[in-house]
Amino acid sequence: MPESKKRKKDNNVEIKQKHFNPQESKAGKILIAVLALSMVLGIIVAAIFLMIQSLA
pLDDT in tens, 2-55: 676 776 666 777 778 888 888 889 999 999 999 999 999 999 999 999 999 998
Is the full-model pTM beyond 0.75?
A: no
Maximal CA-CA distance, the chain? 88
Cα separation, 35 vs 15, in Å, equals 32
The ranges assigned to domains in the chain are 24-55
Cα separation, 28 vs 36, in Å, equals 12
